Amino acid sequence: MKRHRLLFGGALLFVVASTLTGCGGHELRTIQARSALDAGQPRQAIEHINHQLGVDGDKDLPSDLTGDNALLVLDRGTVQQSLTQFKLSEQDFQASDKAIDMLDLAHNAGDSIGEYMFSGSSSRYVAPPYEKLLINTLNMINYLETGDLSGAKVEARRLAVIQRYIRDELKEANNSILGLGGFLAGFVYEKSGDADEALRWYDDALSFAGYGALSAAVRELAPRAGYKSPRIAKALAEEAAAASDDGADVICVVGYGRVPHKIPKRIPIGLALTLVADAIEPTNRRAADRLAAKGLVTWINYPTLAPDQGGYSVPTCTVDGKSIPMTEAVNVSAEVTAQWRKIEGKIILSAITRLVTRYAVGEGIEKVGGKGPLALLASLGTQATLTALDTPDTRSWETLPARVAIGRVRIAAGKHTVAAAARGVTRTQSIDVKRGGWATVSLQALR
């Protein structure tokens, strides 16, 4: 009897330890990189990400881009952009884009969404729609920074494919990230000489924000294009200062803060049942009530969102000391939160269903083994093991800016100095633009 008690006690400690060990997740792998960004040290953040990827330098990609690696490369791409390593950022975004699928929030059943949110880190990462949109949107900035209109057009075409899918299949016509993408893609096609395609994209941008800076561009493009819409007509009717024919265009893009990242959360099972009272099946409700009444498991684990980081700021951009009016192009944190709210109830419901299933497996083992301490231990051990393997998936694109502001101005041809600032991070860039030319200057203040 004494030996059984010692065995039971020691094994029970092992069960508890195993369960606690299983509580880790992706957010623990990236905590050092996030802390470095919080301290305004993006160089150190990349070094931490490279260490997690098992690569020697910023230009190196892991041989395996499944699971966490694709997401870590995506995180690195944003930080590379903040360090003005635009070519390396292009490489990271392209590699990640190919390795990441998109989650269909409109058609996925609750069980498949739950499976996604509790998948292991070895599985292929599935991104929400806003992340797929932003891969192409932010990569357009990389190409514009390096003056590569051809590369930027490729990203604009990829953005158009995702955009059509989101609008036609997911029925999401109000995704505000399309406004930022529309502004940038319109600029790309305007400078490529395609007036109609430029106006189509600017029409999209104007549906999400005022973008007063686009009035002059629309006025110049309209006589050369056949595309018309009520928003374009309104922009043409607005008063706008006459643009200098011998000038050049500069756009300034400033991202700042960071979006909410996912973290694991524990809540009492009673509260969880209350939150999904209208959705849970009666059989699962009764099983969960029995489980809670026995006191064997009183909590459930599921992923949720942490607060965003530094989203409130006043970004600025100047040319030769003169301010450019900046417009908030997109509140990415708000988009992240809105998308999460769509599936949060399904996630909690899935956590309860999976808990009931685990308990049923444990009960089956106890019935087969009898009522002794070893049978109870086997039952608890099975439940704890399945709990540890069912760690909430806390993967997300953690280095996305919380907000992005954009401005556009016509300047005289020649040499100028552009300065952008947000949240204590600054960038000063010298440009030399020809008559009819253009330049793009960006800043990512990821703190």
Residue 100 phi, psi (nearest 5): -120, 130
pLDDT at 182: 94
Question: d(Cα 411, Cα 418) in Å, to the nearest integer?
Answer: 11
pTM for this predicted structure: 0.84
pLDDT band for 390, please (50, 70, 90 cuts). Answer: low
Q: What percent of the chain has pLDDT over 70?
A: 78
Q: What is the mean pLDDT of the segment spanning 328-355?
A: 86
Torsion of CA 255, 257, 259, 262, to 10 degrees: 140
pLDDT at 228: 92
Question: d(Cα 112, Cα 101) in Å, to the nearest integer?
Answer: 14
pLDDT band for 295, please (50, 70, 90 cuts). Answer: low
Question: d(Cα 108, Cα 114) in Å, to the nearest integer?
Answer: 10
Question: d(Cα 295, Cα 158) in Å, to the nearest integer?
Answer: 52
Greater pLDDT, 211 or 188: 188
Q: What is the mean pLDDT of the segment spanning 305-311?
A: 89
pLDDT band for 385, please (50, 70, 90 cuts). Answer: very low
Domain boundaries, the chain: 2-175+244-445, 176-243
